[in-house]
Amino acid sequence: MSPTGLLQLLLVSIIGIYFLIILIKKWDAFPFLLLPLVWYLPEQTSPGRLLENYIFVRWFTVIMIPFLMVIAILKRRFFKTIRYISGFYLLIAIFIIISFISAFLNNKSLFDVLSYLSIYLRYPIFFLVLTTLDLTENVMRKFLILFSILLAIQFPEVFIRYSILGIKGDEVSWSLGSWGTANLGIYMIYGGCLIIAHALHKNITLWHIAGILIFFIIAIFGEIKTIMVWFIIVILVTVVFHPFQTKIKKYIIIFVIIILIFPFGQTIYQYWNKVHGIQLANIFQSIYLTLQGNVGTEDKYSLYRLGILLRIVEGIRQNTTTFLFGFGPGSSFIGNFSGIPGLIIQYLGSGKDTPNQYASILLDVGLTGLINYFLILVFLIKIWRKSLNVSDDNQNMKLWAIIRTAFVGMIFYYLIVGPLYYPVWRFDASSYILYFFAAILYQRVKNGEKKSKH
**CB neighbours of 422 closer than 8 A, spacing ≥ 6?**
182, 354, 355, 356, 357
Q: So what's the pLDDT on residue 205?
A: 87
Q: So what's the pLDDT on residue 336?
A: 46
**CB neighbours of 450 closer than 8 A, spacing ≥ 6?**
none
> How far apart are the two ends of the chain, measured CA to CA in Å?
64
CA angle 226, 412, 316 (to 5 degrees): 80
Is residue 198 within 8 A of residue 185, CB to CB? The reply is no
Q: Return d(Cα 214, Cα 188) in angstroms, integer.
A: 10
Q: So what's the pLDDT on residue 337?
A: 45
Q: Return d(Cα 33, Cα 54) in angstroms, integer.
A: 23
Q: Return d(Cα 310, Cα 359) in angstroms, integer.
A: 8
Is residue 44 within 8 A of residue 177, CB to CB? The reply is yes
Q: So what's the pLDDT on residue 106?
A: 92
Domains in the chain: boundaries: 57-281+356-453
Is residue 240 within 8 A of residue 199, CB to CB? The reply is no
261 CB-side CA count, 13 A: 15
Q: Return d(Cα 36, Cα 151) in angstroms, integer.
A: 11
Residue 413 DSSP symbol: I
Q: So what's the pLDDT on residue 429?
A: 83
Whose CA is closest to 122, among 170, 71, 68? 68
Whose CA is closest to 414, among 190, 243, 241? 190
Q: So what's the pLDDT on residue 13?
A: 66
- Give 292: exposed, middle or buried? Use CB within 10 Å, 0-12, 13-18, 19+: exposed
Beta-strand ranges (E) seen in 30-73 are: none
Q: So what's the pLDDT on residue 259?
A: 87
Q: Return d(Cα 45, Cα 19) in angstroms, integer.
A: 18
Coil, strand, or helix at residue 449? Answer: helix
Is residue 140 within 8 A of residue 440, CB to CB? The reply is yes
Is residue 344 within 8 A of residue 355, CB to CB? The reply is yes
Ranges of the chain whose pLDDT falls below 70: 1-26, 76-79, 82-83, 277-305, 334-342, 344-354, 392-397, 449-454
